Amino acid sequence: MTEIPFEQSLTRLEEIVRELERNELNLDQSLRLFEEGITHLRSAGTALKTVDAQVQQLVEAADGSFQLVDFGA
């Protein structure tokens, strides 16, 4: 499966929520949108986990040097 860009997933999720909230869809249409939403939710979650693993911060040591450490460490 091709990875969907985070921003695209988030935008589509917002559209799906608006469509479902209108209550103008039949059950089959709602179910299809729900399933599509789950796909986008999983894709966005995977993207966030990947970014979270890559986040680092620059910390200044007592001697004035800098080093990269994992964020939150």
Provide the residue ranges of all domains of the chain, joining segments of one domain with +: 6-70
* 69 SS3 class: strand
Q: State mean pLDDT over 57-62.
A: 71
Q: Report pLDDT for 55.
A: 66
pTM of the model as a whole:
0.71
* 22 SS3 class: coil
CB neighbour class for 18 (10 Å; exposed up to 12, middle 13-18, buried from 19): exposed
* 63 SS3 class: coil
pLDDT 10s digits, 7-57: 999 999 999 999 999 999 999 999 999 999 999 999 999 998 888 776 666
Q: Report pLDDT for 32.
A: 98
Q: Is the pLDDT of residue 58 over 70?
A: no
Q: Report pLDDT for 69.
A: 75
Q: Which of 31, 29, 36 is nearest to 13 (CA)?
A: 36
